[in-house]
Structure 1
Amino acid sequence: MQAVIHGFFLAFGLILPLGVQNVFVFSQGATQPSKFRALPAVLTAAICDTLLILLAVFGLSMIVYQFEWLRITLLIGGIVFLVYMGKVLWTSSATAVKQDEALPAKKQILFALSVSLLNPHAILDTVGVIGTSALNYIGTDKILFTATCIIVSWLWFVGLMIAGATLKKFDTSGKVMYIFNKCSAIFIWCTAIYLLIGLL
């Protein structure tokens, strides 16, 4: 039971902060004609998180820490990506938020892959924290810990999709999502600056 409780609070604490991945899943829930049309984004993000969690638990993520050039490359790529995503969110108009961001399934999948796997926090922080915590468990407890982290991730992304779809019913003008995107862009740029300072 301790492994389940630990996995729940750890995974929830790591996935809760506002980030590019969360913003994208939420926005697709808010802009798609129906919440089920946002499932490609939800499933892709959840599968990517599942893969990262499994890699962390089995220790493969430590490869990143063993090669300094790989860590630096990931950070630089992540910073560039975050700056670009912040620009996309900042320049979106209220009309665009309302009408033009309902991406087709293929673009949802490609975009969700990029925001999940090019996110340096997911690779350097989330994976590292979960991987380190998993070392405290063996056998059944490790399985329960890992399964709990994965379940929390899936439930979170489904919840974001539903929250976005619910907002859409009250935000017919797209103004709330417009403000949300502005705030998200600022947060994402701050994250990029934080990573850059750490890199320097």
Structure 2
Amino acid sequence: MEPLLHGMMLAFGLILPLGIQNVFIFNQGATHKKFTHALPAVITAGVCDSLLISLAVGGVSIIILSFEWLRTVMFLIGFLFLTYMGWLMWRENPELKKQQESNLFTAKRQILFAASVSLFNPHAILDTIGVIGTSSLVYTGFDKWIFTLTCMLISWIWFFSLAITGKKIGQIDTSGKLLKRMNQISALIIWGMAVYMGYQLFVTGE
């Protein structure tokens, strides 16, 4: 039970904060008429998180955290990436998307975007690798398997829940105005994360 509960608490703690990945999954559920049309984004996010968790538990965390220059590069990429994603989120118009079905993300675009916000977000990578990877070191054998699979399962449950919640909100918010305000708030949070990345880059460079 210890690795099971430990994995649940860690996974929820890392995935709950509002970030670009969560916002994107939520938006796909909200803007598509059918829940199944948002599944490419949900499944891609789940697969990417499972991959990161596997790499973290497999020992990549020790390699990443031991190279200062690699951390610096990741923070630089993260600053640029989050700044751009915040700009996209601020400009997005859910009201227009609801009116024009052609503006919705296709399955291919969902997969590419979900993969990019999952795999190219250094903050999420460092959290996953640094926290889950380091925490997994206390377990061996079957206990480590339970810990790893629990973290993965929580990610999958969370992404499906986000998309379903987005779908329900989208049905209530037919005008798209609420989603637009949520996007703008999310953009501000993402820009705040970008500023933090820039600060970390400055501190690391000193």
Q: Could you say whether these structures have the same fold, taking a TM-score greater than 0.5 normalized by the shorter chain as the test?
A: yes
Query: Does structure 1 residue 141 correspond to structure 2 residue 143?
Result: yes
Q: Deviations over 1:50-102 (max 9, x none)?
A: 00001010112322222222221111111111001111111223533534552
Number of positions where the alignment pairs a residue of Structure 1 with one of Structure 2: 200
Unaligned runs of 5+ in 2: none
Cα RMSD (Å) of the superposition?
1.2
Native 8 Å contact 1:45 1:112 kept in 2 = yes
Native 8 Å contact 1:97 1:178 kept in 2 = no
Q: Deviations over 1:173-197 (max 9, x none)?
A: 0011001001000000001101111
Deviation of residue 151 (structure 1)? 0.3
Native 8 Å contact 1:61 1:123 kept in 2 = no
1:9 counterpart residue number: 9
1:170 counterpart residue number: 172
Pairing 1:101-116 to 2, within 5 Å after superposition: 102-116=104-118
Native 8 Å contact 1:31 1:168 kept in 2 = yes
CA separation in 1, counterparts of 2:141 and 2:41? 33
**TM-score normalised by L of structure 2:** 0.93
1:179 counterpart residue number: 181
Whichever residue aligns with residue 152 of structure 1, its letter is I
CA separation in 1, counterparts of 2:156 and 2:61? 21
Whichever residue aligns with residue 144 of structure 1, its letter is I
Deviation of residue 23 (structure 1)? 0.4
Whichever residue aligns with residue 73 of structure 1, its letter is V
Whichever residue aligns with residue 149 of structure 2, its letter is A
1:195 counterpart residue number: 197
Unaligned runs of 5+ in 1: none
CA separation in 2, counterparts of 1:42 and 1:93? 21
SS of the residue corresponding to residue 175 of structure 2 reads: coil
SS of the residue corresponding to residue 61 of structure 1 reads: helix
SS of the residue corresponding to residue 59 of structure 2 reads: coil
2:77 counterpart residue number: 77
1:27 counterpart residue number: 27
SS of the residue corresponding to residue 33 of structure 2 reads: coil
SS of the residue corresponding to residue 103 of structure 1 reads: coil
Pairing 1:85-96 to 2, within 5 Å after superposition: 85-96=85-96
1:64 counterpart residue number: 64
